[in-house]
Amino acid sequence: MTKDERAYQARVRELGCLICERPASLHHIREGVGRGQKSSEYDVLPLCPDHHQHGGYGVAFHAGKKKWQDNFGTEAELLRKVKEKLGEDA
């Protein structure tokens, strides 16, 4: 990962969880990425542990993607929100 990518990701993490604003880690977007391929280091969403992996079905992305997106929005929609908050082009 480059210095610019690390700096960008730090800025994204500082936003806090997109859902509840608690401290966040990064979720790498897989939408539109082929199997076995990694998304861009810039295509990340800040999510707290509950909304990322540990919150259960409908709460955590990795506990049920479809239901989570029904509740909170698609990865693409939320990435646009991140870019807006950072004052960048979506």
Q: How many helices (H) and strands (E) does the chain have?
A: 4, 2
- 72 — alpha (psi -120 to 50), left (phi > 0) or beta? alpha
Residue-level pLDDT at 39: 65
Domains in the chain, ordered, with CATH? Answer: 3-86 (3.30.40.190)
* Average pLDDT score over residue span 44-69: 93
* Top-confidence residue, 85 or 30: 85
Query: What is d(CA 69, CA 76) in angstroms, rounded to the nearest whole number?
Result: 10
- Predicted model pTM: 0.85
